Amino acid sequence: MPDVCLQLRPSSNLKGYAKMFDFAGRCGFDGIELCSPPFSMDYERLNLLAIEHDLPVRSIIAPNPLSLTGALMHGKCYAMEELESDIMVVEVPSAAVLGWPAYALFRNNVLLFKENYGRERVTVENGNPRPLQHPVLDIRKLRDFCYEHDVFVNFDVSSCAASGMDILLSLDMLIPRIKNVHFSDYGGQTPADHLVPGAGLLPLGMLLSRLNEHRYDGLITLEVNANEPLAGHDPVVLYSEIVGFIKSYFTGRLSTTAAATGAA
């Protein structure tokens, strides 16, 4: 069964992270994904938080290669070295008309990450279109890039839909390389992205069924916009239900495996 993780946004202090780890533990998540924690973070204390709540840091989102932080780090991610997470996520950047310089910087950074941390730990995330800008790699080119450079995929469901691609067809195209799925909804009354599952229009149940059919056993990470309203729901109850919803699609596989083991 895939492990279900919660994406945590950067906090200015450890008290903020402590509250988020506590929340994730009460909701039943299996692990944590960290968005580019700051340089000054007390990683020893963060490791202790992960142990205390039995919530390992499974994934870390690297600084954007086109940002000042990403340029200064030049293929390094201190959080990866201190927390030793399973994977890191490098988002495909967006650019205006001249996408080649952005692509070249992105490609070089991915190759440096691969050299520093190993091919098994580097995943590339499909980008989200922005006003007057488009990702330098579409879904098909992303697939080809990952095979060419022998790295893996972080499949962002909402960003895929925002780019106009069918999420189920895209999943089938990318599945041999996927190690993490960023799980959220898209659309509804407005074309907002990274909504709470159920608040948009995406066939997320069908997506989970397809993952189960492919016997996917990577990560599924809930990524929801920090300013997303929860419409009066108790956050712990809502997120616990989402974790249960995700895992319910894979329980049959566990039963089948257990039966086969018993018969043997």
Give tens-digit pLDDT for 112-160.
Answer: 999 999 999 999 999 988 888 889 999 999 999 999 999 999 999 999 9
Give tens-digit pLDDT for 218-244.
Answer: 999 999 987 665 666 799 999 999 999
CA distance 56 to 33: 9
Instruction: Give the mean pLDDT of 27-44.
Output: 88
Tokens 């712990």 locate to: 236
Question: Per the structure block, which two tokens stand in for 220?
Answer: 């599924």
**What residues form DSSP beta bridges with 134?**
95
pLDDT at 263 over 80: no
* C-beta separation of 92 from 124 below 8 A: yes
List, in sequence order, every beta strand (DSSP E) within the chain: 3-8, 31-35, 57-61, 87-91, 94-95, 122-125, 134-135, 152-156, 178-183, 185-186, 193-195, 219-222
Give tens-digit pLDDT for 196-212.
Answer: 999 899 999 999 999 99
Residue 53's Cβ-side half-sphere holds a number of Cα atoms within 13 Å equal to 24
Q: CA-based angle 243:151:71, to the nearest 5?
A: 95
CA distance 32 to 4: 8
Question: Per the structure block, which two tokens stand in for 36?
Answer: 């580019």
What pLDDT shows up at residue 182?
Answer: 98
Residue 232's SS3 state is coil
Q: Could you tell me the domains of the chain?
A: 3-263 (3.20.20.150)
* Nearest partner of 112 among 176, 65, 179, judged by Cα: 65
In the predicted model, what is the mean pLDDT of the chain?
88
* C-beta separation of 70 from 62 below 8 A: yes
* Cβ-based neighbours of 33, under 8 Å, separated by 6 or more: 5, 6, 7, 8, 57, 58, 59, 60, 61, 89, 180, 219, 221, 223
* Residue environment code for 110-149, b if the CB has 16+ CB neighbours within 10 A, otherwise e: bebbbeebeeebbbbbbbbeeeebbbbbbbeebbebbeee
Give the phi and the psi of residue 181 in degrees, each rounded to 5: -115, 120
pLDDT at 61 over 80: yes
